[in-house]
Amino acid sequence: MTALVLIHAFPLSGAMWGHEVRALRDAADPIIAPSLPGFGGTAVPRGDASMDDYADSVVAAMDAAKVERGLLLPPGPAAYRFADDAELRALLEGAGLDAVEVGAVEFAYTVASLDELWDGVRTGSVRTAAQLRALDDDERARVRGALDDLLERRRSTGGLELETAVKIAVGISPGE
């Protein structure tokens, strides 16, 4: 049978999944709903918990349940789905907003070093952290090397100059 891992929302605990665990017990085995570090009575890591701490706790719960690990990807929308203006507009209109406008602001962002950028890529999101964790050391080194090669031309005396953009969207609640 397929294992199911349920990860709670902030600031809740694994207990939030009690109803789902009972409802799904015939569809999945084991069902794992751990409380992430610092939640649900679990120990708080020294300093602030990181994405690595959260991922490690999920992996430890899976190991304790003897779940064979593959590529661990938490559920979520397709990567960059809402970078598309039409998708973002549809999301906001679907939430009931009127007169939705979507725009972008482009700018250069400086990162001090490739190491700082790698740390951000490696720990910036649960999904990316999970993908990188699933790789062996050689594969992870190849990904890091490809990132280094790709960004070499962005190197400046102040670090790395990265071109980026953010989406800005506004809408009006009906009746306002």
CA 85 – CA 91 distance, rounded (Å): 10
Q: Does residue 73 fall inside a structural domain?
A: no
Domain co-membership, 93 together with 153:
yes
Q: Does residue 76 fall inside a structural domain?
A: no
Classify residue 80 by burial, with Cβ atoms within 10 Å: 0-12, 13-18, 19+.
exposed
Residue of 51, 19, 50, 17 whose CA lies nearest to 32: 17
Q: Does residue 137 fall inside a structural domain?
A: yes
Predicted pLDDT at 169: 92
CA 145 – CA 156 distance, rounded (Å): 19
Q: Which residue has the tokens 């979507």?
A: 102
pTM over 0.85: no
CA 103 – CA 155 distance, rounded (Å): 29
DSSP 34: P
Predicted pLDDT at 118: 86
Domain co-membership, 102 together with 56:
no
Q: Does residue 8 fall inside a structural domain?
A: yes
CA 134 – CA 111 distance, rounded (Å): 26
CA 175 – CA 88 distance, rounded (Å): 22
Amino acid found at 159: G
Who contacts 71 (Cβ-Cβ below 8 Å, separation ≥6)?
A: 130, 131, 134
Q: Does residue 75 fall inside a structural domain?
A: no
Q: Does residue 71 fall inside a structural domain?
A: no
Q: How far is CA 109 from each of CA 38, 114, 121, 124, 154, rounded to the nearest angstrom?
A: 32, 13, 15, 16, 11
Domain co-membership, 45 together with 107:
no
Domain co-membership, 165 together with 86:
yes
Q: Which domain holds residue 119?
A: 81-172
- Residue 174 tokens read as 């009906």
Domain co-membership, 118 together with 155:
yes
Q: Which residue has the tokens 């970078």?
A: 83
Predicted pLDDT at 77: 59
Predicted pLDDT at 102: 93
Spatial contact of 114 and 151, defined as CB atoms under 8 Å apart: yes
Work out how many domains the chain is built from and give that number: 2
Pairing between strand 159-172 and 98-111?
antiparallel
Predicted pLDDT at 97: 92
Question: pLDDT tens digits, the chain, 176 residues: what are they?
Answer: 577 888 887 778 888 888 888 888 888 888 888 888 888 888 877 777 777 778 888 888 888 888 876 655 555 556 567 778 898 899 889 889 999 999 989 888 888 988 888 888 877 777 777 778 777 888 888 888 888 888 888 888 888 888 888 889 999 988 76
Q: Does residue 85 fall inside a structural domain?
A: yes
Q: Does residue 88 fall inside a structural domain?
A: yes
